[in-house]
Amino acid sequence: MLRLRASVEAGRAAPFGDQLRELDGVRRLVSQPDEAGGSSAVVFVADVEPAAADRLVEAIAELGIGIDDYLLTRVEVVAPQQRHLGGDSGIEGFAWVEVMGQARANSRPLARYLALINVAAVIAALGVITSSSILIVGAMAVSPDLLPICATCVGLVGRRRGLAERSFVTLTLGLTLVVVTATVLAAALKGVDLLPAGFTVEDSSLSSLAKTDYSTVLIALAAGIAAMLSFETRASAAVGVAISVTTIPASAYLGVALGAGGAGQALGALVVLLINVSLLIFSGSMTLVVQRWLTRRSGIKV
């Protein structure tokens, strides 16, 4: 469930209230004078079904209400269980405006994103060097690469070229940082003789990261679907581990191969990484396309 809070000038309050009452999916509308600073504005509060959010935002824009005068937030509903707008055939909890907002927020290479993905690179590189699957899983848990992947999908499906390009650059920058960090770490360890005796990247138990087969394709396609669904429900922290299995390990393996010697394996890991990223974006985008189609089919405008 979403919660609308808007402050509207007294002269626009009546038509704004009428517009809200006419919208399907807007319930429990309350209005009261805005008493802050002697303002003559009227504050509206209402519960909004996620599927009605896009039409609501359009209606607000049509009335000339500024983006600083309203706030649409998600709230957790504990009880009672309810049937969402669109009935059983609708997409529960799907709001395009919310997905787009999430994508914009995660489309830039913020300092936290770069720091986390660099930490993931160090852990994953050590996992490749020591053949430790536990470290690889730990790196996948730390990595935030799911966010720009999903933001890229949203930009493509929403035909927002700037958003798609910005998100893809953020993703590319992050994965490149993983490769560079892993390369430097492996080269440094090799230079001071701290690599395991006789270490070659080909002998790592994770050498499958440089090989492509049918499972590579199927895993990446399934991961893309999970990525988009988790992105929409804000469960990315939990599902991100599964998504990163297709990106972080291959990137780290590529870096270790470059830093410790193993050009042939590096090429194989690069191919795996490119295939995985392409399929993640493809299946994530198709998931979003299907959701929007089902939502339109149920009679809800998005």
Q: What is the pTM of this model?
A: 0.76
- The residue-averaged pLDDT of 50-71 equals 85
Which of 85, 116, 131 represents a domain boundary (last residue)? 85
Q: What is the CATH number of the domain that holds 53?
A: 3.30.70.120
Q: How confident is the model at residue 239, as a pLDDT?
A: 59
* Domain span holding position 179: 99-297
253 in Cβ contact with 267 (< 8 Å): no
Q: What is the pLDDT of residue 212?
A: 86
pLDDT in tens, 244-301: 778 999 999 999 999 988 777 888 889 999 999 999 999 999 999 998 887 766 554 4
CB atoms within 10 A of CB 15: 11
Per-residue pLDDT of 72-116, as tens digits, reads: 888 876 666 555 554 444 445 567 777 888 888 889 988 999 999
**For residue 69, is pLDDT > 60?**
yes
pLDDT value for 156 = 95
Residue 217 has pLDDT above 80, yes or no: yes
| Phi, psi for 223 (deg, rounded to 5) | -65, -35
Write the CB contacts of 156 (distance below 8 Å, at least 6 apart in sequence): 164, 281, 285
Domain membership of residue 91 (yes or no) is: no
The number of beta carbons lying within 10 Å of the beta carbon of residue 141 is 15
Does residue 9 lie within any of the structural domains?
A: yes
Of 52, 85, 118, the residue that ends a domain is: 85
Residues 140 and 35 reside in one and the same domain: no
* Statement to judge: residues 108 and 64 lie in one domain: no
Q: Give the lowest-confidence range in 30-39, 91-100, 201-210.
A: 91-100
Reduced to 3 states (helix: H, G, I; strand: E, B; else coil), residue 200 is coil
Mark whether 266 and 140 lie in a shared domain.
yes
Instruction: Kindly tell me if the per-residue pLDDT of 56 is higher than 50.
Output: yes
Q: What is the mean pLDDT of residues 203-212?
A: 79
Say which residues have a Cβ less than 8 Å from residue 73's Cβ, sequence separation at least 6: 2, 3, 5
In this structure, are 41 and 114 located in the same domain? Answer: no
The verdict on residue 302 lying in a domain is no
Residues 6+ apart with CB under 8 A from 7: 34, 39, 41, 42, 43, 44, 69, 70
The answer to whether residue 61 sits within a structural domain is yes
Residue 119 lies in a domain: yes
Same domain, 159 and 55: no
Cβ atoms of 2 and 75 closer than 8 Å: yes
| Residue 212 falls inside a structural domain | yes
> 3-state DSSP helix/strand/coil percent for the chain, to nearest 5?
65, 10, 25
Based on the fold, state whether residues 152 and 66 are members of the same structural domain: no
Token digits of residue 40? 């003559």
Q: Looking at the structure, do residues 13 and 143 belong to the same domain, yes or no? A: no
Asked if residues 168 and 244 have their Cβ atoms less than 8 Å apart, the reply is no
Residues 181 and 76 both lie in one domain: no
Indicate the burial class of 247 (C-beta count within 10 angstroms; 0-12, 13-18, 19 or more). Answer: buried
Q: Are residues 197 and 64 in the same domain?
A: no
The answer to whether residue 15 is domain-embedded is: yes
pLDDT for the residue 54: 82
Range picked from 2-11, 216-225, 238-247, 273-282 for highest mean pLDDT = 273-282
Q: CA-CA distance, 291 to 301, in Å (whole number)?
A: 12
- In a shared domain, residues 116 and 248: yes
C-alpha–C-alpha distance, residues 139 and 197, integer Å: 24
Q: Are residues 62 and 203 in the same domain?
A: no
The per-residue pLDDT of the chain, averaged, comes to 84
How far apart are alpha carbons 164 and 147 in whole angstroms?
12
Say if residue 156 is in the same domain as residue 269: yes
Work out the number of other CB atoms within 10 angstroms of the CB of residue 89.
Answer: 10
At 61 the pLDDT is 87
Please confirm whether the linkage preceding 15 is cis (ω < 30° from 0): no
Specify the number of domains making up the chain: 2
Answer with the one of 85, 119, 148 that is the final residue of a domain: 85
Alpha helices of 63-212 — where are they, by DSSP H? Answer: 96-105, 111-130, 133-142, 146-157, 161-191
In sign, the C-alpha dihedral spanning 261, 263, 268, 273 is: positive
In a domain, 145, yes or no: yes
Alpha carbon of residue 269 to chain centroid: 24
